[in-house]
């Protein structure tokens, strides 16, 4: 039992409590277990899937396999042969003609004599071939299984990753091929998509009606926008006919006519159809291309699905958002609370000089926000766009209360203490780089981050960064100590501040327990010499993981030990640095916590929270098919985790049961951040585990955090149906990807999920990333399947957990370890002696300077 800790596609076997006796694997909820129906198999012996990463480094060159590389200019016939072959392959058929032309341009001409092996079964292959002339045979286990003829292709899986060939290919006569290696293919796709994305993003941001949209909303527009092409003379829109597209010109020129008369011409960056998009009105002009024209097209139907409302409502709601953010009363609300308020607000229009509010109307009856135009009263007061009428009467305290309830620490406080908290919090603002307090200073206040991020620095070294709704400063107040670190504003930051006396008056026993647990996992004063070894938890290609204990505090930790020689050989320096950077930003009870890192001449070390439990991969096999309520429990845990990551622009990229632990309370905890990335816009690396990969990752079109929601959808299907929805019975990467791109979801008769559950799964498994997350975190939470779920109970760990692992008591092992006092250096010295040969000492370079 245990979970896989994957690092660049290698199984790390980061296991907890391995080889437990069979009796200990039974849940305390044994009476709640659900057996599989007859004939249903969750593949009890299925091995844990490894993640894969495309490094775009070709393993072979054409010359290494006895090809004769010829410099040949492609004729029209050559191009047609290649195009016909490409259109048979899903990796190319979804590409635009421009993309296909770029790939064809890059393909090389090769010749091979008769009886020449082009590919060998079981060996790696990194090139894709289209047969231009001649014939070849496909051989599997010594037997011919197919004949390859002109316009057939070979080696398509090589364009995705390093997968051993399932069969051999041998020429039957002198043959010629058009060839493409994986590195060239991935580079072309990424370069084209990245350039197009940047250009399209600039164009979208230049449109005034889109300028007030959030970054997420603009990204959704970009994802849904269609690429359109018109030839010279083609009619794009017709006067007095219904408009159905907003069109933004990328290249070329169009002519606008009204009643047959030329009005104007438009070119790059110009747009039309905005009135149709916003108000559903008729086209006011006829638009004709007077050159070849390339455009972005946004359909009203697309944005209705993607943004949940018509663009008019989006514009108005963003104006509402601006009004709330400007307001002295409402600026304490978080995004979710603002969204909730906006859901209750309807848009009403009045003609000029119409009465909006009668004089006799009670002051506290309604809230009015001006989103367009201007209103005034008989006393010559007026309210323009983004003005709020009657905001002074708004119930600030109740809204602040909802905000504070988002912070785990304050959940469960009695009304009296909540009132003290609300009455005594005040807001402070700090510019970028400004010190909030210094190391070794007296602790005078407790801080909660309202907006922005702060850096925690000890002895001039960055320890970690803390983000929105996280808190700091409690240690020196609780223990009456000097500040253990300096805290600086990472950027412009707003803080809620509570003075020491008020903080101590509010803190109850539950809060003290929460903070002391957190403080224990923030104790960066622990040194590697303070650790004694209890046992080895796992081993992998890069090193080992040990269960350790501090001799000073008896706090348990997992220590990941990574060999420098292996780091150098596998070229994972950047991956380790990014993993460290990400983990130091995360502080959540559902996410594995990094305490600190160490280094010496031979190794680097990650000191991690020790999570006792089983991994979800094993738990769902112990339970069997999950019922709807149990699926909902795990789904909501994972949604909370993803929301925490995505708020920080972190895409996880390898969400699957193997990377999730079920802790000793039955709640989920996400581990293994070796494949995660901080993104701004889109990223293009093909990475993850094939069965859980989103379509946009496979196609190389660029992806963002929406890819994680696809993986979540796969997991929910797996919980309910016993297997993944696409190619469950196949380990062939190409076949898996083909089924994912087909996107056909079937539910087994024995599972039969409820309609609301199916709707949620299919929302997450929408091939359009913009539609997948339904408009964001709040929209997912408000889905019919989840709308009544007790989210507060989940965060506070009050909800019933489907499976609580029975785990062995570690007291005896801890006592034994203290008697033996085996230090980590002792263990590693023994390990070095077992190796036998002298270890090559890797000279430390700048990559590990922060470890």
- Answer for the pair 447, 497: CB distance below 8 angstroms, yes or no: yes
The per-residue DSSP string of 262-327 comes to: EEEEE-TT-EE-HHHHHH-PBPSSEEEESS-EEEEEEEHHHHHHHHSS-HHHHHHHHHHHHHHHH-
Between 338 and 785, the higher pLDDT residue: 785
CA 28 vs CA 134, 391, 611, 805: distances in Å: 66, 52, 18, 7
What pLDDT does 21 receive? Answer: 33
* Largest pairwise CA distance in the chain: 97
Q: What is the pLDDT of residues 205-258, one digit of tens each?
A: 888 777 767 777 788 788 888 889 999 999 999 988 887 788 999 999 999 998
The closest alpha carbon to 487, from 529, 522, 447, belongs to 447
Which sign does the torsion angle of CA 600, 606, 610, 615 carry?
Answer: negative
- Asked, colleague to colleague, whether 6-52+613-795 and 62-188 share their fold, the answer is no
**Domain 414-507: which CATH class?**
mainly beta
What pLDDT does 41 receive? Answer: 54
- Report how far residue 661's alpha carbon sits from residue 595's, in angstroms, rounded to the nearest whole number: 18
Position 5 pLDDT exceeds 60: no
Which sign does the torsion angle of CA 75, 77, 83, 88 carry?
Answer: negative
* Mean pLDDT of the 392-400 span: 49
The closest alpha carbon to 67, from 121, 132, 145, 161, belongs to 132
Least confident of 71-75, 272-276, 447-451, 772-776: 772-776
The closest alpha carbon to 160, from 570, 734, 741, 731, belongs to 734
Beta-strand ranges (E) seen in 610-704 are 613-615, 650-651, 660-663, 668-670, 677-678, 687-688
Residue entry with tokens 């009467």: 393
- Return the CATH number of the domain spanning residue range 6-52+613-795: 1.10.510.10
* Mean pLDDT of the 821-850 span: 65
3-class secondary structure per residue, 439-503: CCCECCEEEEEEECCEEEEECCEEEEEECCCCEECHHHHHCCCECCCEEEECCCEEEEEEEHHHH
- Report how far residue 717's alpha carbon sits from residue 483's, in angstroms, rounded to the nearest whole number: 48
CA 622 vs CA 518, 612, 784: distances in Å: 31, 17, 29
The closest alpha carbon to 453, from 438, 472, 476, 439, belongs to 472
The closest alpha carbon to 318, from 795, 773, 326, 614, belongs to 326
- Answer for the pair 717, 742: CB distance below 8 angstroms, yes or no: no
Position 289 pLDDT exceeds 90: yes
What pLDDT does 39 receive? Answer: 38
What pLDDT does 306 receive? Answer: 45
Q: 654 an active-site residue?
A: yes
Question: Which residue pairs from 745-752 have beta carbons closer than 8 angstroms and sit at least 24 positions apart in sequence?
Answer: 745/717, 747/721, 748/40, 748/721, 748/722, 750/37, 750/39, 750/40, 750/625, 751/625, 751/720, 751/721, 751/722
Q: Domain residue spans in the chain?
A: 6-52+613-795, 62-188, 203-311, 318-388, 414-507
Between 29 and 567, the higher pLDDT residue: 567
The closest alpha carbon to 757, from 565, 568, 626, 610, belongs to 626
Confidence category of residue 366, pLDDT binned at 50, 70, 90: low
The closest alpha carbon to 550, from 576, 520, 578, 572, belongs to 520
Give the DSSP H or E segment for 236: strand 235-237
CATH 3.40.190.10 describes domain 62-188: no
The closest alpha carbon to 600, from 559, 549, 548, 564, belongs to 564
Per DSSP bridges, beta strands 6-7 and 10-11 are: antiparallel
- Answer for the pair 271, 245: CB distance below 8 angstroms, yes or no: no
Per DSSP bridges, beta strands 235-237 and 286-289 are: antiparallel
CA angle 397, 401, 404 (to 5 degrees): 135
What pLDDT does 399 receive? Answer: 52
- Answer for the pair 529, 516: CB distance below 8 angstroms, yes or no: no
**Domain 203-311: which CATH class?**
mainly beta
Position 673 pLDDT exceeds 70: yes
- Report how far residue 168's alpha carbon sits from residue 816's, in angstroms, rounded to the nearest whole number: 57
Residue entry with tokens 């054409």: 62
The per-residue DSSP string of 380-415 comes to: S-EE-TT-EETGGGS-HHHHHHHHHHTSGGGTT--H
Q: What is the pLDDT of residues 319-358, one digit of tens each?
A: 666 666 666 666 666 666 676 666 666 666 666 666 666 6
Position 261 pLDDT exceeds 70: yes
What pLDDT does 43 receive? Answer: 55
Q: What is the pLDDT of residues 804-826, one digit of tens each?
A: 999 888 888 888 888 877 777 76
At 53, list the tokens: 């990463």
Query: pTM to 2 decimals?
Result: 0.77
* Mean pLDDT of the 544-549 span: 91
Q: Which entry of 17, 54, 654, 708 is annotated as an active-site residue?
A: 654
What pLDDT does 559 receive? Answer: 94
- Answer for the pair 197, 684: CB distance below 8 angstroms, yes or no: no
Confidence category of residue 387, pLDDT binned at 50, 70, 90: low
Q: What is the pLDDT of residues 170-195, one digit of tens each?
A: 999 999 999 998 888 888 888 888 88
Between 752 and 356, the higher pLDDT residue: 752
- Report how far residue 718's alpha carbon sits from residue 623's, in angstroms, rounded to the nearest whole number: 13
Position 519 pLDDT exceeds 70: yes
What pLDDT does 68 receive? Answer: 79
The closest alpha carbon to 768, from 715, 691, 707, 825, belongs to 707
Phi, psi of 406 (to 5 degrees): -70, -20
Q: What is the pLDDT of residues 572-607, one digit of tens each?
A: 899 899 999 999 888 888 999 999 999 988 899 999
Least confident of 299-303, 540-544, 646-650, 805-809: 299-303
Q: What is the pLDDT of residues 83-142, one digit of tens each?
A: 999 888 888 887 888 888 999 999 999 999 999 998 999 888 888 999 999 999 999 999
What pLDDT does 330 receive? Answer: 67
What pLDDT does 708 receive? Answer: 96
Proportion of the chain above pLDDT 70, given as a percent? 76
Average pLDDT taken over every residue of the chain: 80
* Cβ density class 519-542: b for 16+ within 10 Å, e for less: ebbbbbebebebbbbbeebbebbb
Confidence category of residue 44, pLDDT binned at 50, 70, 90: very low
At 629, list the tokens: 């309520």
Position 728 pLDDT exceeds 70: yes
Position 514 pLDDT exceeds 80: no
What pLDDT does 664 receive? Answer: 93
């Amino acid at each position: 039992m245990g979970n896989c800790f994957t690092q660049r596609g290698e199984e790390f076997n980061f296991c907890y409590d391995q080889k437990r006796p069979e009796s200990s694997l039974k849940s305390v909820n044994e009476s709640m277990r659900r057996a599989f129906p007859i004939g249903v198999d969750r593949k009890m012996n299925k091995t844990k899937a490894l993640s894969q990463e495309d490094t775009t480094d070709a393993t072979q060159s054409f010359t290494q396999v006895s090809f004769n590389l010829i410099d040949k200019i492609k004729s029209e016939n050559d191009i047609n042969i290649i195009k016909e072959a490409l259109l048979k392959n899903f990796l190319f058929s979804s590409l635009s003609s421009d993309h296909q032309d770029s790939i064809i341009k890059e393909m090389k001409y090769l010749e091979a004599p008769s009886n020449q092996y082009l590919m060998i079964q079981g060996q790696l292959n990194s090139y894709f071939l289209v047969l231009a002339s001649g014939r070849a045979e496909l051989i599997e286990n010594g037997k011919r299984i197919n004949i390859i003829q002109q316009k057939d292709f070979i080696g398509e899986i090589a364009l995705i990753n390093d997968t051993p060939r399932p069969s051999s290919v041998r020429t039957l006569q002198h043959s010629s091929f058009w060839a493409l290696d994986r590195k060239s293919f991935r580079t072309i796709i990424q370069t084209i998509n990245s350039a197009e994305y940047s250009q399209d993003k600039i164009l979208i941001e230049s449109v005034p009606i889109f300028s007030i949209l959030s970054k997420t909303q603009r990204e959704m527009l970009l994802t849904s926008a269609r690429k359109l092409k018109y030839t010279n003379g083609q009619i794009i829109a017709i006067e007095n006919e219904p408009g159905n597209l907003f069109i933004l010109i990328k290249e070329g020129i169009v002519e606008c006519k009204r009643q047959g008369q030329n009005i104007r011409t438009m070119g790059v960056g110009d747009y039309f159809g905005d009135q149709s998009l916003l108000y559903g009105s008729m086209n006011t002009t006829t638009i004709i291309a007077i050159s070849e024209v390339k455009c972005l097209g946004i359909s009203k139907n697309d944005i209705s699905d993607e943004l949940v409302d018509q663009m008019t409502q989006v514009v108005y709601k963003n104006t509402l958002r601006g009004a709330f953010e400007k307001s002295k009363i409402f600026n304490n609300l978080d995004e979710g609370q603002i969204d909730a308020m906006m859901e209750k607000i309807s848009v009403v229009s009045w003609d000029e000089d119409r009465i909006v509010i009668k004089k006799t109307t009670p002051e506290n009856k309604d809230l009015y926000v001006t989103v367009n135009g201007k209103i005034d009263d008989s006393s010559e007061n007026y309210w323009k766009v983004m003005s709020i009428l009657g905001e002074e009467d708004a119930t600030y305290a109740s809204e602040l209360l909802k905000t504070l309830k988002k912070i785990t620490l304050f959940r469960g406080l009695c009304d009296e203490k909540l009132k003290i908290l609300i009455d005594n919090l005040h807001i402070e603002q700090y510019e970028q780089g400004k010190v909030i307090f210094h190391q070794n200073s007296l602790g005078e206040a407790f801080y909660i981050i309202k907006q922005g991020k702060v850096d925690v620095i000890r002895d001039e070294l960055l320890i970690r960064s803390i983000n929105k709704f996280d808190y700091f400063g409690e240690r020196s107040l609780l223990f009456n100590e000097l500040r253990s670190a300096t805290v600086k504003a990472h950027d412009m930051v707003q803080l809620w501040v509570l003075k020491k006396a008020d903080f101590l008056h509010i803190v109850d026993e539950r809060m003290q327990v929460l903070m002391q647990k957190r403080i224990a996992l923030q104790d960066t004063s622990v040194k590697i010499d303070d650790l004694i070894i209890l046992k080895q938890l796992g081993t992998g290609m890069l090193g080992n993981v040990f269960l350790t204990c501090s001799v000073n505090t008896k706090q348990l930790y997992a220590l990941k030990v990574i060999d420098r020689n292996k780091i150098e050989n596998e070229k994972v320096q950047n991956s380790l640095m990014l993993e460290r950077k990400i983990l130091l930003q995360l502080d959540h009870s559902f996410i594995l916590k990094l305490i600190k890192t160490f280094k010496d001449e031979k190794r680097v070390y990650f000191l991690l929270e020790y999570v006792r439990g089983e991994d979800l991969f094993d738990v769902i096999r112990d339970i069997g098919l999950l019922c709807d309520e149990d699926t909902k429990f795990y789904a909501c845990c994972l949604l909370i985790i993803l929301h925490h990551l995505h708020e920080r622009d972190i895409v996880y990229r390898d969400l699957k049961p193997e990377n999730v632990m079920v802790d000793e309370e039955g709640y989920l905890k996400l581990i293994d951040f070796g494949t995660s990335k901080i993104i701004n816009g889109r990223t293009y690396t093909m990475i993850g585990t094939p069965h859980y990969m989103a379509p946009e990752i496979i196609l190389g079109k660029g992806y963002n955090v929406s890819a994680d929601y696809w993986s979540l959808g796969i997991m929910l299907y797996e919980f309910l149906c016993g297997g993944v929805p696409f190619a469950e019975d196949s380990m062939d990467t190409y076949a898996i990807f083909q089924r994912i791109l087909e996107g056909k979801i079937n539910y087994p008769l024995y599972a039969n999920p409820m309609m609301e559950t199916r709707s949620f799964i299919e929302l997450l498994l929408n091939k359009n990333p913009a539609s997948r997350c339904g408009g964001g975190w709040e929209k997912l939470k408000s889905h019919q399947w989840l709308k009544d779920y007790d989210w507060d109970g989940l965060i506070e760990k009050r909800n019933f957990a489907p499976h609580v692992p029975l785990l062995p008591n570690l007291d005896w092992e801890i006592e034994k370890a203290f008697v033996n006092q085996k230090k980590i250096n002792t263990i590693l010295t023994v390990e070095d002696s077992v190796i036998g040969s002298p270890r090559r000492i890797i000279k430390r370079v700048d990559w590990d300077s922060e470890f």
